[in-house]
């Protein structure tokens, strides 16, 4: 995905990412014949090992590396994680641009769909709204209040989907040509109408990508949920951002190809911190939490018997959560908002 970035920011971003890049002998690009095979290995791939010991070879690139069990080394790691995070999130100028894009789109939507303006709520959702977006992250916008999916299917019936696609096409034309004095500088766009949840994808001249959907307020509730937990667990945001970068580097962040999406990842981070906090352990040290996260999901976590369930305190037995989830060997996670396991 394209993202606006100054040259000096890109250079700093690349330098900082190099600290966290795996250094393996004879490293080769893994190829997976199916998304299932990709999911079965993705958790181990995050930590870069397949043995019963953390492989910290990629951490040896950090200046001041001494020994992974020393407090000084962990403090140094924490400082570098914090510095890394500051370099990979949108800066003030980028955030101002993203806010301006949302404001302009909101005005265009209100003028394009005047009959629905009072019932419609235009809002950001996803990583961008929760403060978990990277430089390259797109803007996910939902028009809530106009369409409600069928609970049993998670999608829309034919009539509702037709209404949604029609609205998105009208919005695409308006965004391309502008609505009054409001314009987005669209360079390209398309409506993906056959998806379970139809989406309008717009490429702006600034490099920003804007994804628009009509749905219920589930995405908005998810943002509030994440924001509330970030207040209780300060390590959630930096750990999630760092792990998102690692996954993206390794080609494991695209859900459509069997990768691990942001919603699943942040639930994994939350579950890990909640489980440790429940034992009385301090969970605000980024260095310790990063290594323990990699140890848990790269070595200890059993995909066949365990499941991630933030709503239930972190982790539960898989069989108690997903009785109808027959596919063993892939991550099972309970949505904390809906209670649905997948």
**Which band of pLDDT confidence, cut at 50, 70 and 90, is reported for residue 327?**
low
- Contact between 74 and 285 under an 8 Å Cβ cutoff? The reply is yes
Q: What radius of gyration, in Å, describes the C-alpha atoms of the chain?
A: 21
Q: Compute the average pLDDT of residues 251-270.
A: 89
- Contact between 72 and 78 under an 8 Å Cβ cutoff? The reply is no
For residue 342, the 8-state DSSP code is -
**Which band of pLDDT confidence, cut at 50, 70 and 90, is reported for residue 190?**
very high
In this model, does residue 222 exceed pLDDT 70? Answer: yes
> Sign of dihedral through CA atoms 258, 14, 297, 154?
negative
Phi/psi of residue 272, nearest 5 degrees: -65, -50
Of the two residues 186 and 62, the one the predictor is more confident about is 186
> 92-221: which CATH topology?
Beta Polymerase; domain 2 (3.30.460)
In this model, does residue 171 exceed pLDDT 50? Answer: yes
What is the per-residue pLDDT for 26? 38
Report the distance separating Cα 296 and Cα 299, nearest Å. Answer: 6
**Which band of pLDDT confidence, cut at 50, 70 and 90, is reported for residue 13?**
very low
**Which band of pLDDT confidence, cut at 50, 70 and 90, is reported for residue 212?**
very high
Average of per-residue pLDDT values in the chain: 80
In this model, does residue 308 exceed pLDDT 90? Answer: yes
Give Cα 267 to chain centroid, integer Å. 10
- Contact between 88 and 70 under an 8 Å Cβ cutoff? The reply is no
Three-state SS at 216: coil
Longest dimension (CA), the chain: 65
Cβ-in-10-Å burial (0-12, 13-18, 19+) of 182 comes to middle
What is the per-residue pLDDT for 32? 47
What is the per-residue pLDDT for 56? 45
Got the DSSP string for 285-328? -HHHHHHHHHHIIIII--TTTEEEEGGGTEEEEHHHH-TT---T
Model pTM?
0.73
The number of residues in the chain equals 342
**H helical segments located in the chain:** 7-19, 35-47, 71-88, 92-112, 127-130, 158-177, 218-232, 236-249, 262-278, 286-295, 318-321
CA dist 143 to 146, 177, 287, 316, Å?
A: 7, 20, 39, 35
What is the per-residue pLDDT for 207? 83
In this model, does residue 43 exceed pLDDT 90? Answer: no
- Give the residue from 120, 212, 220, 216 showing the smallest Cα distance to 174: 212
Looking at the chain, the whole-number percentage of residues with pLDDT higher than 70 is 75
What is the per-residue pLDDT for 196? 82
- Contact between 233 and 282 under an 8 Å Cβ cutoff? The reply is no
Phi/psi of residue 74, nearest 5 degrees: -65, -35
Q: Strand 139-144 to strand 209-215: parallel, antiparallel, or no bridges (unpaired)?
A: parallel
In this model, does residue 70 exceed pLDDT 60? Answer: no
- Give the residue from 2, 126, 58 showing the smallest Cα distance to 291: 58
Domain spanning 36-65+234-342 has what CATH number? 1.10.1410.10
- Contact between 341 and 334 under an 8 Å Cβ cutoff? The reply is yes
Sequence ranges of the domains in the chain:
36-65+234-342, 92-221
Task: Mean pLDDT check: name the lowest of 49-63, 120-134, 177-191, 289-303.
Answer: 49-63
What is the per-residue pLDDT for 53? 41
Task: Mean pLDDT check: name the lowest of 54-63, 141-150, 311-320.
Answer: 54-63
- Contact between 54 and 298 under an 8 Å Cβ cutoff? The reply is yes
What is the per-residue pLDDT for 5? 47
Three-state SS at 250: coil
């Amino acid at each position: 995905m394209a993202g606006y970035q100054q040259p000096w920011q890109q250079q700093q971003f690349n330098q900082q990412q190099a600290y966290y890049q795996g250094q393996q002998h004879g490293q080769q690009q893994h190829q997976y014949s199916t998304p299932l095979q990709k999911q079965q290995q993705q958790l181990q791939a995050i930590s870069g090992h397949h043995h019963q010991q953390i492989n910290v070879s990629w951490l040896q690139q950090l200046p001041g590396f001494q020994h992974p069990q020393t407090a000084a080394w962990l403090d140094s790691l924490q400082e570098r994680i914090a510095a890394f995070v500051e370099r990979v999130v949108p800066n003030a100028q980028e955030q101002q641009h993203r806010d301006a894009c949302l404001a302009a789109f909101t005005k265009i939507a209100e003028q394009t769909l005047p009959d629905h303006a009072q019932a419609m709520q235009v809002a950001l959702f996803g990583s961008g709204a929760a403060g978990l977006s990277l430089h390259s992250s797109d803007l996910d916008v939902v028009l809530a209040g106009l369409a409600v999916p069928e609970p049993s299917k998670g999608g829309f019936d034919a009539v509702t989907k037709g209404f949604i696609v029609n609205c998105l096409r009208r919005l695409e034309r308006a965004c391309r040509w502008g609505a009054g004095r409001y314009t987005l500088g669209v360079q390209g766009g398309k409506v993906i109408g056959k998806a379970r949840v139809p989406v309008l994808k717009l490429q702006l001249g600034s490099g920003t990508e804007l994804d628009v959907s009509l749905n219920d307020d589930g995405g908005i509730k998810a943002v509030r949920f994440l924001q509330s937990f970030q207040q209780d667990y300060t390590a959630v945001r930096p750990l999630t951002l760092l792990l998102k970068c690692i996954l993206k580097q390794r080609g494991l962040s695209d859900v459509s190809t069997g990768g691990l999406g942001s919603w699943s990842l942040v639930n994994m981070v939350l579950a890990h911190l909640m489980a440790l906090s429940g034992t009385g352990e301090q969970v605000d040290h980024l260095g310790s939490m990063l290594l323990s996260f990699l140890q848990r999901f790269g070595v200890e976590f059993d995909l066949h018997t365990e499941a991630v369930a933030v709503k239930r305190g972190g982790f539960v037995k898989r069989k108690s959560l997903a009785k109808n989830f027959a596919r063993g060997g892939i991550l099972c996670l309970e949505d904390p908002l809906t209670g649905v396991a997948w």
